[in-house]
Structure 1
Amino acid sequence: MNTEVLDVDTSRRRIVDLTSAVRSFCASQGDGLCNVFVPHATAGLALIETGAGSDDDLVDTLERLLPRDDRYRHAHGSFGHGADHVLPGLVSPSVTVPVGDGEPLLGTWQSIVLVDLNRDNTARSVRLSFVSG
């Protein structure tokens, strides 16, 4: 299994497009599966269309579903930080995509994005792992 770790700064954006980094990682790999994993308790990964408003729609939807208030038992950090710990229950911390001839076999409009609403920790790592098939 081949593995690479990306360091990602989310201080200026809540949705970070990882697609080009995944494409670069897979380019010399051949056929198999690429797993993208974020080892954090307050972030997730999604396959969405970006640039047409869907990324902002996702953030708006998650903020409506997970309001920042005092309802959360997990109450350390900034006000409403408990919502950040619920996020991975809705947005998975990993995605796996098939790879053919070194190219992730994504749909025409699919992008792999990191979703991070947490303002308390903006330094993220993302692990890319490739298993040959």
Structure 2
Amino acid sequence: MRQALHRLSIATHGKGLVMFTRDVLHWVADTGIETGLLTLWCRHTSASLTVQENADPTVLEDIKRYFEALVPEAPGRYIHDDEGPDDMPAHLRSMLTQTQLSIPVADGRPVLGTWQGLYLFEHRRQPHRREIILHLIGE
């Protein structure tokens, strides 16, 4: 059994979904591990991870709109607003999504469906640099 660990830095441009599938595919291939389990971990409380449609961009737009309606930025609604009106909504949105993903690896590739991509979901208005930890265990 072998293990590999990698830190992936992703620049965001404010709220939205940033696909990083290619970076993960390249890294997994470079490890030489053919079969195993890949864990992705987001080291932030105001961003999250998701596996989502990678073909039609309107899906991503609908997801963004849904979360804006589900957890709105509403001045006076939240007690915690130390970093602005998008602060607490960002924490709630990351709680409702995922900060960790587990994906099987077979034949040296993450086992993703034809239309699935890996995304960082940025919940803050301002651009950020987010760190994703990749851990692969297998042989």
TM-score by length of 2: 0.88
1:123 to 2:129 alignment = yes
Gaps of 5+ in 2: none
Of 44, 51, 54 in structure 2, the residue corresponding to residue 50 of structure 1 is 54
Q: Which structure: larger Rg?
A: 2
Q: What is the CA–CA distance in structure 2 between the aligned matches of 1:12 and 1:65, rounded to whole Å?
A: 18
TM-score by length of structure 1 reads 0.92
Counterpart in the other structure of 2:20: 18
Establish whether residue 66 from structure 1 lines up as the match of residue 68 from structure 2. no
- Structure 1: distance between partners of 2:19 and 2:79: 31
1:13: how far off? 6.0
> Alignment partner for residue 2 of structure 1, among 4, 24, 44?
4
CA distance in 1, matches of 2:14, 2:72: 20
Give the superposition deviation at 1:58.
Answer: 1.0
2-structure distance, mates of 1:83, 1:12: 14
User: Does the 8 A contact of 2:39 with 2:103 survive in 1?
Assistant: yes
Q: Does 1:40 align with 2:34?
A: no
- Distance change (3 Å), C-alpha of 1:76 and 1:121: farther
Runs of 5+ unmatched residues, structure 1:
none
1:52-88 deviations in whole A, cap 9, x for unaligned?
Answer: 1111111111111110113112211122321011112
Separation in 1, partners of 2:88, 2:15 = 20
Provide the aligned C-alpha RMSD in A: 1.5
Q: Report the more deviating stretch, 68-77 or 34-43.
A: 68-77
Query: Comparing both structures, which one devotes a greater share of its residues to strand?
Result: 2
Q: Give the C-alpha shift of residue 44 in structure 1.
A: 0.5
Is 1:76 the counterpart of 2:46? The answer is no
